[in-house]
Structure 1
Amino acid sequence: MHFGKSGRSKRHIRGKPVLLGGVAAAVAIAVSLAPTGAVAAGGDSAKAGKSAATEAKVAGETLGNYDARTEPSVKPALQRAAALKAAQPSVKSYRKGLGVEGIVAIDGLTGTPKQVARTDGFLTGASKAGAESIARSYVKKNAAAFGLSAADVDRLTLRKTYTDVEGTRHLSFIQTVNGVTVFGQGLKAHVAKDGRLVSIDGSPVAGLPTSAAAPKLTPTQARGAAVEDAFAKPKAAKATTAKNASKTTEFAGGDQAKLVQFKAPSGLRTAWQTITSPSNDQMFMHVIDAATGRVLYRRDLIQHDSAKVVENYPGAPRGGKFKNVDLPAKWLPKNSPRLAGNPAHVWSDLNDDNLAQPNEEITKAAPRSFTFPFTRFPLADPDCTAFVCTWDSTVPNSWETNRKSSGTQLFYYISKFHDHLAKKPISFTREAGNFEAVDGDAVEGNDLDGANTAAGLPDGNHINNANFGTPPDGTSPRMQMYLFRNPAVPGDPWVAAMGSYAADIVYHEYGHGLSNRLVVDADGISTLGSAQAGAMGEAWSDWYAMDFLNNEGYERDTKAEGELRVGQWVGAGRNQIREQPVDCKVGSTSPNCAGTAGGGPGGFTYGDYGKISGGPEVHSDGEIWVQTLWDLREEIGTKKAESLVTRAMELSPGNPSFLDMRNSILQADQVVNRGKAHKAIWKVFAQRGMGYFAGSVDGDDQAPVESFALPPKANTPTGTLSGTVTDSDAGTPVAGAVVAFGGHNSGFGGDYAAVTAADGTYTISGIFAGTYPKVFSRGPGYEVVVATKSISNGANTANWQLRRDWAALAGGATVVDTNDDSGAPFGCGAAAMFDMSQTNGWSAVAEHVGPGPLDIEPRWVILELPTAIDVSEVTINPSNTCGDAGSASTSKFTFETSVDGTTWVATSGDFGVDDRKATPVALSSGTADVKFLRYTMLSTQVEDLGGTCPGAFSGCDWVDSTEIAVYGAP
């Protein structure tokens, strides 16, 4: 079938994200899956009997999270809008009034603050008024700074309010259009028990209409689009739709759909919010455009941990002996025939269908008894001598020996940790969104998940793993615990263990439920979607687990360093789940804290972000955060740390950076502790590189800059920064360029920004003296330049030279023609190749033509430059884009130049397996007086990855490239 310009098939229209403009993530410990764009050993997408989703996973074809509101191609414009808003006199005056540690962080999408707070005090004084009145009155009083009218404030609907253990009232206001919730926006306010306003966050939308477009898609069609987007085929399921404005729909099997309004840069879109499980080990939240079926938002609710991965674990020096305990009625009803109580329902999900068959339930050993024998497997293996092995990976069904014991252990750990988190000072209660059957969301514990998927043994998708899927409050999460030691991999380095016996792993997984239920938007949806937020999610889970085990005495933290290793048992005492133990200090010389080549020896600091494992990775980068929190625990004590870390989650802005969460911990100290630990907190974070002048543009910044400085005092001198922005090739001034101080959009020192005049000049005033690591300049058609600037008292000068990308549409280039613009309605057309984004790009139909199954019809685009130039350099990023997986990247290509659009000079090449980089393309000729470019994609990377078509590879449907940049002089 030929699609070309005639449009995409119905299936692919629904499956494609659109350029307009995360729910809670769960987490897993997994080492068996290949990374995106790679092929797992033995991976074969054509094996019979596998679902498309399973084939895709085996092949390494995993889909990442996606949000049209923060699509990379629009992010520079949003950052510029935020900087301009922050520079407005009303906002600057308001921010200045909050003091040195005031926070006014602007959301470029809405033009409203995503967080307003102080880390050294409160926004208002004490009051006896109601919490809702306090919040609404404050926003109305500061309407100019918030960008909301009185009518906007009046239209906010209080969805939920609860009071935490310290007496702080947390209010969540949603926004609606004709009764339908605006997705991911709204406003949250936090009011201390004495009536002082702690902070406000949420990015509300100003000037909402009173009505919206009716949906064209049915909820069933929206569910189908969401499932197909995950490489799966939707199964028929009975749907029950409520008679409410949101048309809330429940499907047999647990899938859900409801109407929302989605705020995009182009305006509001009527859409369907869905929660689906395309396969048994998947759970996604989507927002599907209700008019076109486009994917506007995708969040994988089960994030797989790449792990190096009985009160502790069998055979542990402390807490390793089995003992008889009571299962109290608050956990399990008296005379219950199975392990199903208020905290959890646990069964052995041997076939991984997420359903409890009668033979998979854990039934009683005797009346009122779930006491089962435990058998150690004395295998001829050094690891099984040093550690206890609980099954034999070479013998089918050997897991049956300890199956009921393992399931009972999982139920015990879940119930015990539930109670621990619910108690003071953590207080993860029903009101806060915990997991209990009385609220319809007890944990579904799937023990030995997939143990019987390959003739009595687990297959490659059900080994060395664990995960936890966290939907919003009111829907049960799912914890899947796996066997360790892969029977198909000789020399597999894991102990032959059952994950449910490992307290640290179970507590880690449960911890994801805590963080994803507390760091939420006004509608209760998790906002742990940014890179740094994901890293903190891993770190919190490790921290709460090790904190609890230490408090109970089963793990001990002495003055020695490098003692507390996550995954001690399953990793056979080696650093397999994490690079280092959590108690490694900065500068440590302990052999247990040897670090990594990228992160260096000793404990990690903020400057190690993205370097620890050779690139950004949530588990490795999370080690920075968990080690910092462990320092905080030692500095202020475990109970105070538990209180502040948890309260900070409730005060956090959405998609926080490490610096945002540092600020929230400082705020929590004001609320809980009257600011008594303020200096100690700053000391701890400054020692880890998260001091006052640390720089992070936002939570997605994967190259933050560290600072070890404490905050400046209130009387710190201020200076000005002035200069000129010029074109690096032509030497002419650049008008309309932004100069701004990145990394301080959390609010410290202000979000200083200015726009250049016609002569390229600018001035920014009122800057606290100090060194700022991410000052940047950006102009239309010019690449961003980031530099470290030291500001002294008085006048400072910084001139900027920006490099022009002549292929950028923002600089005047024009797409003349293409033979496939089918992705244009989705923001994935040929023009996206020239938007100066190294993530968003062109996705065309990969129509396969003979003679081989991987040969595709060439897809080309012609670009006219704004003026003829002498080309000095060309770079092409051939990577997958627009929601596709790695195999859709371009492999073979041609690049041609022309002075008149008729006669062409060609260069051919083969990118092979690319690594998402802008790759220089050498031009031997055709570089003078170039006015036209033609780029042709000839093949995808399916063959480079060892795959074939047809199959569950993105490259069997699409061929992608991300960006072309052309440099030179007129």
Structure 2
Amino acid sequence: MKTHIRRTLAVAGSVVLAVGITPAVPALAAPHRAAPQRAAAPSAPADYDARRDPAVTGALAAKAARLVAEPSPALSDLRTELGDQGIVDLDPLTSTPRQVAKLDGFLTGPSRKPAVRVAQDYLKAHADLFGVDPATLEPRRDYVDVEGTHHLSFLQRVGDVPVFGNGIRADVARNGALIQMTGSPVRQMPAALAGARLTGSQALDTARRDARETRTTPSDKAHLVAFPTTAGLRLGYQTLTMQTGYLHVVDAQTGRILYRQSLTDHEAGPDALVWDNYPGAPAGGKQRPVSLRKWLSPTATTLTGNSSHVFSDVDDDNVAGAGEEVGPSSPGHFRYPMKDFTAQAGGLCSAQYRCTWDPFVAYSWQDNRAMAATQLLYFTSVFHDHLQAAPIGFTRAAGNFETRDGDQVEVNDLDGADTDNGFPDGNHVDNANMATPPDGTPPTMQMYLQPAANDPTDPWVASDTGNEASSVYHEYTHGLSNRLVVDAAGVSTLNGPQSGAMGEAWSDWYAYDYLQSKGLEKDTAKPGELVVFEYSTGGANTIRTEPLDCPVGAPATVCAGTATAGPGGYTYGDLGKISRRGAEVHADGEIWAQTLWDLRTALGSRLSESLVTRAMELSPADPSYLDMRNSILMADLVVASGRHQKAIWKVFANRGMGFFAASVDGSDTAPAEDFSLPPAPRSPKSSVSGTVTNDGTGQPAAGVAVTFGGHSSGFAGSYAAVTDANGHYQIKNVYVGTYPKVAASGNGFERQVKTVTVGKAPATVDWTVRRDWAASRGGAQLTDFNGDDYSDYGCGPAQTIDMSQGTGWSSDAVLTGGTAIDPRFVTIQLPTAVDVTSIAVNPTGNCGDDPSSSAGDYRVETSTDGTTWTTAATGHFGPADRDRMNAVPLTAGTAAVRFVRYTMLGTQVADEGGTCPSQLSGCGFVDTVEVGVYGGTA
């Protein structure tokens, strides 16, 4: 996505009751007041996966720790077999491997057997661990990439119904060596599933309603799948609805939404006149005649090429209606000179950044409509060929876009340009996007006008985003990444905050890798030259926070960074800090993009193109940055026999993704960075042990998981353990070194994180953990709330008790005078009666709101029975209270508490020096991140 709007939504699953999944919020009365319009909110709900619902993540995390801390004999044997740089990452939902691989070699030696046989033999040899009989798997795909590597996919089925999101993927090198296995297969498959009560048509209707779609498209489809839940497999319909681009799984018995994934990544013969970069660019900025013969038929009457179809979707109905196709200027020619609006439009228009419409004149975009569509046919065709060629190799077999396969890119240019009487409305400006469904269904690219009509304050060059090569190539690359980082059924797994950020980073990197290689963008040894989307911004670095070519330690004069992350090139520890509003895929993607530019500088463009692409094909599902680092290291083994391992490790270690770097998984928005290279072979190892104590009782805390972040998923062994009845744990065979993110958590105990240094002598690390009685993971429930429910945006009331400081609750702020609002409350039922010693609140603005939406005045009440309430605390939160938990002063109502009611009475608009009405978020929304309750059982 290319986006000019720096507003982020918290990444979290919607709160939806899924069969087999405990609901995070019970069904409650509808909000009592209509919502104000949420500025810049998406038109459809956020991604959701019932397998990651807050109600089950705690249990799955505890199970994951047990799986690695108490390994089965099969797991222990495989770890021994793979050695210190082996990876055995278990999926807690299935208890089977998400990934099995080695960073210092392949799983098996060379073989003359067919690739399918190599994979099947490995599954047979490790049947106890994978839990599947290879004879029951259905081969789905055997794709051979440009390096000769076979990428195999096998589906699991219950009868004729495929399992969703699981199965087996195997990668076999040209010489027959098995590189890795991925996929998380389901154990103990049932003979049959309960029958469907819904039809496919009804499931499609349900999906459209959920995605707020109002129209059907020819690409809409539904088929049955078996969806894994914590309670077993459920029969569901996998649906595609392509008005806005969504993939759902709808429970076939209840109609509940089990899975929701947006397929759209937002932003962002004959001859023709085209430019190669953007109108006015120092290089590639002038129209020149080119032949379209290799892409377009000599007798073409529309812009339907061999890999894309371009039309002007000015009414935004996703269909080429009357007058929206673009035909030849004369037989055999698409020669449309650009009408220059630079002098007329003014603003940021200049000789270097020429404008193509006047946002103050209705229908002025019509003058360059045919030119812009022709330009897009050229851009998309050129980039299709670039990605298809070696060393990238995004071919038909890999899932690229071809008209002959009915899978061409449907390019909607000037999308919505005529949705407001000759102007684009506010939903159709300053952006671009690409919706990429699984292979076989055409993707949709939408390019918008900029800036907003009749708005002199909207700071963008007056043009069509399709006029800019980097914008088009960025969007097109979303198609590459979403077709290569997939599950066994070919569904994209770029769903988490880290994988989503890498999706944006790859799009920037591939675009500028091409432009720089062709001499269209300048990049010398001097840092800070590659400003992303410079045409749209008139040369200002305002869409990204830093140029692409900012090495670590670059001067602030050219790589200024942000107030929250600091200047110079970004490192892994900056994730979640670049944007002042927390984790955001475009901002966080800059870390990965700059790292890959370092890799390109170290290894050259062609080798880097090969390694980065092969790594996508080798990636496990929903990868973290560290997962993808590992995949690039494995790609080097495939492509170059591991000759560049040291150089690759050096690049990643320099960016904080060294050997001891720590990330829980791809959803971790606060990873710990490390700058170390891997320990040398036969480096010393030691052990860590200790006792975990409940700080409320002083007694041992059983069932608490102690994990080494980044090293508890199989990499270099699994450094994890679960405390026994005496609160004791022990982790053996730990490399000597410093680990920045060792954590103890579980069963409602707050996560405690330490930096642990392991020396040659066994280390003793004791923990004191605090029980949060308000945590849903510890048995607390949300029983009531009022105000608008933004669960679909990942910021519903349940986020106040999810033990995460990365998600929060946002509600509507209905002003009653000054910054006072109609009260907005949540009621929390504790799992047992508690003598409360402390209640703490993090009042910070979230859900993309600015800090003024942070809760200001507040009230906390307690009750023993849920009927009679005592005011325990009142007060005001200010700017100093943001981004942390704040203990509130308790004055009464602390004995035998069973219910807690927290009420937001005002915002922090006044604390920001503002008033309402205004553009401050606190004039429309009021937010809180988390509520915690502490003490001992009554």
Q: Which residue of 1 aligns with 2:295?
A: 331
- Following TM superposition, by how much is the alpha carbon of 1:870 offset from its aligned partner in structure 2, in angstroms? 4.0
Query: For the structure 1 residues 899 and 357, does the alpha-carbon distance in structure 2 shift closer, same or farther, using more than 3 Å as the test?
Result: closer
Counting only pairs closer than 5 Å after superposition, residues 357-436 of structure 1 correspond to structure 2 as: 357-379=321-343, 380-381=346-347, 383-436=349-402
- Following TM superposition, by how much is the alpha carbon of 1:80 offset from its aligned partner in structure 2, in angstroms? 2.2
- Following TM superposition, by how much is the alpha carbon of 1:597 offset from its aligned partner in structure 2, in angstroms? 1.8
Deviates more, 1:665-674 or 1:221-230: 221-230
- Following TM superposition, by how much is the alpha carbon of 1:779 offset from its aligned partner in structure 2, in angstroms? 3.6
- Following TM superposition, by how much is the alpha carbon of 1:456 offset from its aligned partner in structure 2, in angstroms? 1.4
Q: Which residue of 2 aligns with 1:485?
A: 451
| Residue 205 (1) aligns with residue 160 (2) | no
Q: Structure 1: how far apart are the matches of 2:279 and 2:316?
A: 25
Are the equivalent residues in 2 in contact too, given 1:589–1:602 (CA < 8 A)?
A: yes
Are the equivalent residues in 1 in contact too, given 2:859–2:905 (CA < 8 A)?
A: no
- Following TM superposition, by how much is the alpha carbon of 1:264 offset from its aligned partner in structure 2, in angstroms? 0.9
Aligned to 1:619, the other structure's residue is in SS state helix
Aligned to 1:569, the other structure's residue is in SS state helix
| Residue 758 (1) aligns with residue 725 (2) | yes
- Following TM superposition, by how much is the alpha carbon of 1:770 offset from its aligned partner in structure 2, in angstroms? 1.2
Letter paired with 2:54: P
Counting only pairs closer than 5 Å after superposition, residues 178-217 of structure 1 correspond to structure 2 as: 178-217=159-198
Are the equivalent residues in 2 in contact too, given 1:259–1:272 (CA < 8 A)?
A: yes
Q: Which residue of 2 aligns with 1:75?
A: 57
Decide which of 737, 750, 759 is 1:783's aligned counterpart: 750
Q: Structure 1: how far apart are the matches of 2:526 and 2:126?
A: 52
- Following TM superposition, by how much is the alpha carbon of 1:384 offset from its aligned partner in structure 2, in angstroms? 2.4
Q: Which residue of 2 aligns with 1:271?
A: 236
Q: Alpha-carbon deviations, 1:395-448, whole Å to 9, x = none?
A: 111111111111100000000100111111111000000001111110111111
Counting only pairs closer than 5 Å after superposition, residues 647-686 of structure 1 correspond to structure 2 as: 647-686=614-653
Identical-pair percentage: 48
Letter paired with 1:124: T
Q: Which residue of 1 aligns with 2:67?
A: 85
Q: Which residue of 2 aligns with 1:497?
A: 463
Q: Structure 2: how far apart are the matches of 1:31 and 1:809?
A: 36
| Residue 227 (1) aligns with residue 208 (2) | yes
Are the equivalent residues in 1 in contact too, given 2:316–2:415 (CA < 8 A)?
A: yes
Letter paired with 1:709: S
Deviates more, 1:514-523 or 1:66-75: 66-75
Q: Which residue of 2 aligns with 1:138?
A: 122
Are the equivalent residues in 1 in contact too, given 2:429–2:451 (CA < 8 A)?
A: yes
- Following TM superposition, by how much is the alpha carbon of 1:209 offset from its aligned partner in structure 2, in angstroms? 0.6
- Following TM superposition, by how much is the alpha carbon of 1:606 offset from its aligned partner in structure 2, in angstroms? 0.9
Q: Which residue of 1 aligns with 2:19?
A: none
- Following TM superposition, by how much is the alpha carbon of 1:840 offset from its aligned partner in structure 2, in angstroms? 8.8
Counting only pairs closer than 5 Å after superposition, residues 234-633 of structure 1 correspond to structure 2 as: 234-235=214-215, 253-277=218-242, 282-305=244-267, 310-328=275-293, 330-379=294-343, 380-381=346-347, 383-589=349-555, 591-614=557-580, 615-633=582-600
Q: Alpha-carbon deviations, 1:235-270, whole Å to 9, x = none?
A: 5x6xxxxxxxxxxxxxx5432211111101121111
Q: Which residue of 1 aligns with 2:667?
A: 700
Deviates more, 1:924-933 or 1:493-502: 924-933
- Following TM superposition, by how much is the alpha carbon of 1:603 offset from its aligned partner in structure 2, in angstroms? 1.1
Query: For the structure 1 residues 69 and 758, does the alpha-carbon distance in structure 2 shift closer, same or farther, using more than 3 Å as the test?
Result: same
Letter paired with 1:31: H
Q: Which residue of 1 aligns with 2:146?
A: 165
Q: Which residue of 2 aligns with 1:64?
A: 46
Deviates more, 1:435-444 or 1:452-461: 452-461
Query: For the structure 1 residues 889 and 213, does the alpha-carbon distance in structure 2 shift closer, same or farther, using more than 3 Å as the test?
Result: farther
Equivalent pairs counted in the alignment come to 886
- Following TM superposition, by how much is the alpha carbon of 1:124 offset from its aligned partner in structure 2, in angstroms? 0.3
- Following TM superposition, by how much is the alpha carbon of 1:59 offset from its aligned partner in structure 2, in angstroms? 5.7
Are the equivalent residues in 2 in contact too, given 1:157–1:173 (CA < 8 A)?
A: yes
Aligned to 1:195, the other structure's residue is in SS state coil
Q: Alpha-carbon deviations, 1:463-510, whole Å to 9, x = none?
A: 111111101101111111111222232232211122222111111110
- Following TM superposition, by how much is the alpha carbon of 1:383 offset from its aligned partner in structure 2, in angstroms? 3.6
Letter paired with 1:221: Q
Are the equivalent residues in 1 in contact too, given 2:400–2:480 (CA < 8 A)?
A: yes
Give the gaps of 5 or more residues in structure 1. 1-26, 38-51, 238-251
Letter paired with 2:62: R
Q: Structure 2: how far apart are the matches of 1:394 and 1:527?
A: 42
Are the equivalent residues in 1 in contact too, given 2:843–2:930 (CA < 8 A)?
A: yes
Query: For the structure 1 residues 901 and 479, does the alpha-carbon distance in structure 2 shift closer, same or farther, using more than 3 Å as the test?
Result: closer
Letter paired with 1:148: G
Aligned to 2:750, the other structure's residue is in SS state coil
Letter paired with 2:331: P
Query: For the structure 1 residues 387 and 670, does the alpha-carbon distance in structure 2 shift closer, same or farther, using more than 3 Å as the test?
Result: same
Letter paired with 1:318: A
Q: Which residue of 2 aligns with 1:148?
A: 131
Letter paired with 2:206: A
RMSD, matched Cα: 3.8
Q: Alpha-carbon deviations, 1:80-138, whole Å to 9, x = none?
A: 22222123153234223212221111111111111111122100001111111111111
Q: Alpha-carbon deviations, 1:684-717, whole Å to 9, x = none?
A: 1111111111111101111111111111122011
Are the equivalent residues in 2 in contact too, given 1:33–1:57 (CA < 8 A)?
A: no
Decide which of 96, 99, 113 is 2:97's aligned counterpart: 113
Question: What TM-score, normalized to structure 2?
Answer: 0.87
Letter paired with 2:246: F
Deviates more, 1:259-268 or 1:754-763: 754-763
Question: What TM-score, normalized to structure 1?
Answer: 0.84
Query: For the structure 1 residues 807 and 35, does the alpha-carbon distance in structure 2 shift closer, same or farther, using more than 3 Å as the test?
Result: closer
Query: For the structure 1 residues 779 and 567, does the alpha-carbon distance in structure 2 shift closer, same or farther, using more than 3 Å as the test?
Result: closer
Aligned to 2:829, the other structure's residue is in SS state strand
- Following TM superposition, by how much is the alpha carbon of 1:33 offset from its aligned partner in structure 2, in angstroms? 8.2
| Residue 768 (1) aligns with residue 732 (2) | no
Are the equivalent residues in 2 in contact too, given 1:568–1:574 (CA < 8 A)?
A: yes
Q: Structure 2: how far apart are the matches of 1:901 and 1:576?
A: 51
Q: Structure 1: how far apart are the matches of 2:543 and 2:927?
A: 34
Q: Which residue of 2 aligns with 1:30?
A: 3
Aligned to 1:535, the other structure's residue is in SS state helix
Are the equivalent residues in 1 in contact too, given 2:412–2:444 (CA < 8 A)?
A: yes
- Following TM superposition, by how much is the alpha carbon of 1:201 offset from its aligned partner in structure 2, in angstroms? 0.5
Counting only pairs closer than 5 Å after superposition, residues 946-965 of structure 1 correspond to structure 2 as: 964-965=931-932
Are the equivalent residues in 2 in contact too, given 1:895–1:933 (CA < 8 A)?
A: no
Are the equivalent residues in 1 in contact too, given 2:123–2:130 (CA < 8 A)?
A: no
Aligned to 1:286, the other structure's residue is in SS state strand
Deviates more, 1:762-771 or 1:889-898: 889-898
Aligned to 1:376, the other structure's residue is in SS state coil
Letter paired with 2:115: A
Q: Alpha-carbon deviations, 1:915-942, whole Å to 9, x = none?
A: 997864735422442333242779999x
- Following TM superposition, by how much is the alpha carbon of 1:598 offset from its aligned partner in structure 2, in angstroms? 2.0
Are the equivalent residues in 1 in contact too, given 2:305–2:377 (CA < 8 A)?
A: no
Q: Structure 2: how far apart are the matches of 1:291 and 1:722?
A: 48
Q: Alpha-carbon deviations, 1:575-614, whole Å to 9, x = none?
A: 0221111111111126222222222222111111111122
| Residue 730 (1) aligns with residue 697 (2) | yes
Are the equivalent residues in 2 in contact too, given 1:396–1:457 (CA < 8 A)?
A: yes
Q: Structure 2: how far apart are the matches of 1:221 and 1:708?
A: 53
- Following TM superposition, by how much is the alpha carbon of 1:197 offset from its aligned partner in structure 2, in angstroms? 0.2
Are the equivalent residues in 2 in contact too, given 1:174–1:185 (CA < 8 A)?
A: yes
Decide which of 716, 736, 758 is 1:749's aligned counterpart: 716
Aligned to 2:563, the other structure's residue is in SS state coil
Letter paired with 1:357: G
- Following TM superposition, by how much is the alpha carbon of 1:57 offset from its aligned partner in structure 2, in angstroms? 7.1
Q: Alpha-carbon deviations, 1:733-760, whole Å to 9, x = none?
A: 1122221212224532222122222221
- Following TM superposition, by how much is the alpha carbon of 1:675 offset from its aligned partner in structure 2, in angstroms? 0.6
Query: For the structure 1 residues 269 and 962, does the alpha-carbon distance in structure 2 shift closer, same or farther, using more than 3 Å as the test?
Result: farther
- Following TM superposition, by how much is the alpha carbon of 1:224 offset from its aligned partner in structure 2, in angstroms? 2.0
